[in-house]
Amino acid sequence: MATQPHLLVDDGDLTDRVLIPGDPGRVDRIASHCDEHETIAENREYKVVNATYEGQELTICSTGIGCPSAAIAVEELANVGVENFIRVGTTGALQSDIEIGDMIVATGAAKNEGTSKRYEAVEYPAVPDYDVLSALVDSAEANDEEVHVGPIASDDAYYAESDEAVEDWEAAGLLSVEMEAAAVFSLARRKGLRAGAICTVDGNLVEGTQKGTDTEDDELPDKAKNNVGRAIDIALEATTQL
């Protein structure tokens, strides 16, 4: 098989399980939690690293922002043999009792994005694999961490999330909104692969504390920044169960 045109990886370069943050910088942060790591490729928004955690070989690959670039990552990772995907991201809360720094394990993602619609009808569910979902919840419990477990939304337009949309999502009982999970879940299901997601809350749209409103120089508030590390540990533990 030819080298993948965006990830610049070949068949056999990677492992069968991958953690997929959006931010390329978070690839290095995840790698720092591992025992060993080696950069395999870096191009555009995609940075690919192989690592070892507690004897388990795994891959870390950034997806960039949004479902289009995440779908490219999933497609090309699947092409070279990856079978298990865990998104490790950030998300904006949609319920007033969810605080900055809390962690959410998604049980499904509303398709408020366009990428998955190019693959299938909007009525088809964007849901995680049960084994990956269970591994994330079990790993959180094993680490004595509390996580919210429930449905989220994936949206394409970060700067066009209106008050009406937020109110509708809140009323529907969605826990948070991010920008990649719906495509990741949908593609994995269609390909017979396994995917899940754990995200750290970086703001609350209901409470008016969206990301960036209370920080000057950093993208994330301190509490979210610190708790991303805890979500990374949960995700790494989950890979050992898959």
**Residue at 168 is within a domain:** yes
Q: What is the pLDDT of residue 213?
A: 55
> How many domains would you assign to the chain?
1
Residue 1 — pLDDT band, cuts 50, 70, 90?
confident
**Residue at 181 is within a domain:** yes
Q: DSSP letter string over 174-208?
A: --EEESSHHHHHHHHHHHT-EEEEEEEEEEETTTT
Beta bridge pairs of residue 136: none
- At 107-127, the pLDDT tens digits run 999 999 999 999 999 999 999
- How many CA atoms, within 13 angstroms, populate the side-chain half-sphere of residue 67? 28
Q: What is the pLDDT of residue 216?
A: 53
Which residue, among 158, 147, 151, has the nearest Cα to 205 in the 3D structure? 158
* CATH assignment of the domain containing 41: 3.40.50.1580
The whole-chain average pLDDT of the chain stands at: 95
Parallel, antiparallel, or unpaired for β 84-93 and 194-204? parallel
- At 185-234, the pLDDT tens digits run 999 999 999 999 999 999 999 999 876 655 455 678 888 888 999 999 99
User: Which pTM does this prediction carry?
Assistant: 0.96
**Residue at 114 is within a domain:** yes
- At 8-23, the pLDDT tens digits run 999 999 999 999 999 9
**Residue at 221 is within a domain:** yes
Range of the domain at 191: 17-240
Distances (CA, A) of 20 to 60, 86, 160, 201, 221: 6, 6, 25, 17, 21
**Residue at 51 is within a domain:** yes
**Residue at 10 is within a domain:** no
**Residue at 213 is within a domain:** yes
Please state, as a whole number, how many other Cβ atoms lie within 10 Å of the Cβ of residue 211. Answer: 20
